[in-house]
Copies of this chain bind each other. A is one copy, B any other.
């Protein structure tokens, strides 16, 4: 195949302009351009790099409503959601601009020389963090704006000083092309080499495989399926020079309904849960796919309210026909399971439309059947009834790594929650109380990540300002003259606002 077109999420039919399929030659050209742009880009001052990020935000907004309409057609997501997503995309670029200016990301450390120290003098040692090199980012199917061409990984990689080669998701080539055009205009307006950004498209997975294996690529950001993430990770690890892959893959985001909270507001929780489950046709990494409750007062009210809300839910257009089919297969497999009961289902629709489902089982069945803990991407969730706190703990400790865990609790649940917390901390990247895991704030204190298989690397986050660290590494300079030191490590740079650890003491001045 040498050409492809957008597929309407609504109809499953191709439409609109024709896009040339990129192949190995285009990958090589993009990587060569990224490599040759790297030194110039990483040498930009924090002010210039921040202005570039802000310029990308402006250029995206300048595309106007055509961007929202393109994304609606390709993804089937509603206008309000996509407008919100554009806001988030622009907001995270501005957040990173602020982070770049403040300079903490540089990780500056200075141990001044101690020429008189005995038995040996101490040399002058200075650390800064440098960007790792060109980064490959895979656009996500479920966030055509906020986790694609100008999304989370590209924003953090660019903020770190890395050129980015985006492999656009084949489900939204038009949206990707519009955003890529905006970025290219920002690159040009900022006087940067064009190789700072490249956008590759094509419907096959070969394209991504070639990209990850290109020797000029230094790190990979990926959001998608477990199979896809693991395949890319294997490729990255078996390169002559292995590179890190930050793959966000699968999570069922357990929600723990603790007894006092259930008793106080079981019905309201049931309705709230259904809202989180159904949001965006359940196509969020943080979708609540698992409910854990101790049988007791309020659980019936929760179940009743959740059943009503799920049963009343209308089918929704899923992102692609493939995703809708995978969802239906996953649900059908669960229905076949003897150990699980279908509690409620919304109208199911057909083709690209699918509806919500809610199952229930007990702890023993859940523990003895690992398939019940696999993610079914979409609005499917399982309630696990536990006899007591001990059974609840057994279920929690059986879980794989997750992005989030949620506690619904009242003051009277605090002792149980405190007991669960150390276990949850080891399983997840984010612990919420009395909320729903969908809705990921782009903030400084956000972790969107977690232990395997939620991600391949729990040492970092894909959302929020901490994400810049995944694309940096430390370099130490010993006894370099001021003229050769990076500007930010020279003595005269102090006072520029960036924090410095000087002889082990953190200073802001």
A interface list, Cβ under 8 A from B: 39, 43, 84, 98-99, 102, 104, 109-111, 119-120, 122-123, 125-127, 130, 132-133, 237, 241-242, 244, 400-401, 411, 414, 417-418, 421-422, 425-426, 428-435, 439, 441, 443-447, 449, 451-453, 456-461, 465-466, 472-481, 483-484, 499, 501, 503-504, 506, 508
Contacts and interface: CB of A to CB of B under 8 A. Distances in A.
Contacts of A43: 422
Interface centre among A125, A400, A508, by most B CB within 10 Å? A125
A478 B431 contact: yes
B98 A443 contact: no
Given A444-B503, A484-B433, A425 B475 contact: yes
Contacts of A104: 501, 506
A443 to B, nearest CB: 5
A426 B504 contact: no
Given A445-B125, A446-B125, A504-B98, A476 B430 contact: yes
Nearest to A463: B476
Contact of A111 (B445, B478, B504): B445
Identical subunits present: 2
A432 to B, nearest CB: 4
A504 to B, nearest CB: 5
Given A109-B445, A431-B477, 18 more contacts: A104-B501, A109-B466, A110-B445, A242-B452, A244-B457, A244-B459, A414-B484, A418-B484, A428-B475, A429-B475, A430-B476, A431-B480, A432-B478, A433-B478, A433-B484, A444-B503, A445-B476, A466-B474
A421 B484 contact: yes
A457 B123 CA distance: 25
A478 B110 contact: no
B441 A125 contact: yes
Given A39-B422, A418-B484, A441-B125, A435 B473 contact: no
A504 B418 contact: no
Nearest to A122: B441
Contacts of A445: 109-111, 125-127, 476, 501
* Complex A-B, nearest 3 residue pairs according to Cβ-Cβ distance, in ascending order: A447-B476, A125-B445, A109-B445
A51 B474 CA distance: 29
A367 to B, nearest CB: 17
A476 B428 CA distance: 9
A431 B475 contact: yes
Nearest to A109: B445
A207 to B, nearest CB: 24
A444 B122 CA distance: 12
A479 B435 contact: yes
Interface centre among A111, A458, A476, A504, by most B CB within 10 Å? A476
Contacts of A503: 444
A115 to B, nearest CB: 13
Contact of A109 (B84, B439, B444, B457): B444
Contacts of A132: 458-459
Contact of A99 (B411, B417, B504): B504
B447 A461 contact: no
A460 B102 CA distance: 22
A122 B504 CA distance: 35
Nearest to A39: B422
10 contacts: A120-B439, A125-B446, A241-B401, A417-B484, A418-B483, A429-B475, A430-B475, A445-B476, A449-B474, A461-B474
